[in-house]
Amino acid sequence: MGLEEYQDLQGTGFQGGAAQEAKPPEEELFHSVYISGKTRTNHINIVEKIEQFQIRGVEYNLEEINMIITHTKDILVKEQQEQGKTVTKCFSYKNTNPWQGTTTLPNGEPRICPLTSPDRLSNDFCKDCRAQIIVAGVYCDKSGMPVLTEEKKPIFIFIRGKGMKYNNVSNYLGEMYKKDLPALFSKEEDPAKESQRINFEKTNVNHKRFVTKIGMGKADSNFGLKDVFELTSGVQLADEAVINILKVAKATADKFKEKMDWSKATSTTPSYSPEQPQVDQSNAIPELNTQQEQTQPDPQAQPDPQAQPAPGGQYNFDDIKF
């Protein structure tokens, strides 16, 4: 019997091995940072203590964490509780214009995301959707020197500004945007190009020029006090370190998107988030709008003007294959 007469069945059989199992957290490139909501024993039998920072797959039970930011991303997520689990019903990575969610309208057309919280609240389907912010970077010490693995490679970490944790993350990025810093790139004689340069540096570079300290704070909610991230800027990095970080951000951009664009993965909350589901009762979380942020930076969060630039540029990222 010849195979040729059955060629029309090509592609209709089971493709064994097509589904990929989730990587162990130790093998991930980007490691989630979270605050333990309760004391528990994790996947490698380490007891994660309540109200301590955990870097999944890296280190556990920390009082604070330092990083140099490489990527930030504002996303939209509609989540619901089903049988005790948080299930993602719709997601937008905001990589289209206009923004589109992963669900479609009844007629099959793409679902266009409302631009603001009030617009989403007035839409029956979108009213449970919330803005979140992902901030990723290189794990480092207070001086900006990367913390390395046993193989002498840098460690990439990220936090998720979600629910009660959103505002502090948004405000910190807004403060970074507003900083007037010496130009990293050559100034342009053409006014239009100079305006573009200034906006690029404020949007994409300012937050990379400082060590960012991640501490822990409390925020009041309808269900009592909640643990939140408190972000403050530390020492300013040397210019050569910032250029290094920009190169790293460019080299890892696709890996960041692969990890954080959930529309390319699964419909449920990714396995990297071990936090217990929290019901977000806030009706309107402000959007991240760094260009129009009006609040004044906390003077205590500003770096010491006498501090010397950190030596982060001493680490050579050029030989790292991401």
Give the residue from 110, 151, 154 showing the smallest Cα distance to 245: 154
Question: How much is the pLDDT for 228?
Answer: 96
- H or E element: which one contains 218? strand 210-221
Q: Residue 170 pairs with which residues in a beta bridge? A: none
Query: What are the tens digits of pLDDT across the range 159-188?
Result: 999 999 999 999 999 999 999 999 999 999
Angle at CA 224, nearest 5°, toward 164 and 172?
A: 25
Letter for the amino acid at 147? V
- Structural tokens at position 222: 């309808």
Q: Exposed (0-12), middle (13-18) or buried (19+): which is 208, by Cβ within 10 Å?
A: buried
In tens, the pLDDT along 64-107 reads: 999 999 999 999 999 998 988 989 999 999 999 999 999 999 99
Q: Is 214 exposed, middle or buried (0-12, 13-18, 19+ CB in 10 A)?
A: buried
pLDDT at res. 223: 83
Residue 241's closest CA among 114, 69, 82, 76?
69
Cα separation, 232 vs 239, in Å, equals 20
3-state SS assignment for residue 263: helix
**Alpha carbon distance 163, 20 (integer Å):** 30
- Which residue ranges make up each domain of the chain? 24-271
CA–CA separation, 224 vs 271, rounded Å? 27
Q: What is the pLDDT of residue 300?
A: 38
Cα 160 to Cα 158: distance, rounded to the nearest angstrom: 7
Question: For the whole model, what pTM was predicted?
Answer: 0.78
